[in-house]
Amino acid sequence: MTEPGESPIPWVEPHQALPAPQTAWGPASLVPGLLVASRDIGAERLLEAYRMGVFPWYAENQPVLWWYPSPRMVLRTNEFRFHRSLRKWVAHGLASGDLSIRFDHDFEAVIQACATARRRTQSSTWIMPELIDAYVDLHREGYAHSVETWWQDQRIGGLYCVNVGRMVFGESMYSTTPNASKAALAALVAFCSLHGMGMIDCQQETEHLALMGARPIPAGDFAAEVASRICEPAPPWTFVPEMWQSWDHRLATKVQPG
């Protein structure tokens, strides 16, 4: 296994395949999970990476850095914590007709909003213009999707993700009002649960994701699940209100008339 200080960062040219994820720098290194660097980023390279469980993450004036951290943060759909305050907000919005969830209504606007939100809260964003272009191309090919939270016909939050087979890789989310991004995640969980996609990749451990039920698992377990799930057929990306009710009976009792 390559470690910082022992050799330079591995480099891959556009015509070369990404190295095996198991060669990523280990937890004792200065940069745990770093796999390789490249200068190219495009839909084809992204799809190659996600099929291996690898994702890009880099800053301005850096080469494209590809990562495979261990352990891996994942959200099991049956472990999602649908907190009472969020559940009440969703139920109220559904009952009043103010809340709706839309898939792929405006993917490019969602990823742009995610990049803008990160610029406001951080010194910079890792969602670079060339990365946005690559994900937009991946969306056009049917692999990248947006989950959008709408309130009275205004988009107030959402997330984007990548779907290969029955595996979903979460990327980034944004919100302009409390609960909007969490509602998008809850909708994604409902959709994944009903379509037999029991695990959502969350990439890296954060307190926010842990509060929503995500937890780290060994990289070997993650790799085995990805390899199995990407070989299955992908579902049609359509969200209908009934998905809320069939997924969570607590919403059904609040939303149904009478």
Rounded distance between C-alpha atoms, residue 134 and residue 140, angstroms: 10
Q: What's the token pair of residue 69? A: 């951290």
Among 61-75, 77-91, 116-130, 147-161, where is mean pLDDT lowest? Answer: 116-130
Q: Comparing C-alpha atoms, which of 177, 187, 225, 237 is closest to residue 80?
A: 187
Q: What's the token pair of residue 114? A: 């995610």
Place of tokens 């050799």: 7
Please state which CATH number belongs to domain 73-255: 3.40.630.70
Rounded distance between C-alpha atoms, residue 199 and residue 210, angstroms: 14
Rounded distance between C-alpha atoms, residue 144 and residue 161, angstroms: 6
Rounded distance between C-alpha atoms, residue 23 and residue 68, angstroms: 9
Second CATH level (architecture) for the domain 11-69: 2-Layer Sandwich (3.30)
Q: What's the token pair of residue 46? A: 């992204």
Q: Comparing C-alpha atoms, which of 87, 96, 133, 91 is closest to residue 111?
A: 133
Q: Residue 121: what pLDDT? A: 47
Per-residue pLDDT of 211-234, as tens digits, reads 999 999 999 999 999 999 999 999
Q: Residue 118: what pLDDT? A: 60
What does the domain layout of the chain look like in residue ranges?
11-69, 73-255
Pairing assessment for the beta strands 167-175 and 55-56 based on DSSP bridges = unpaired
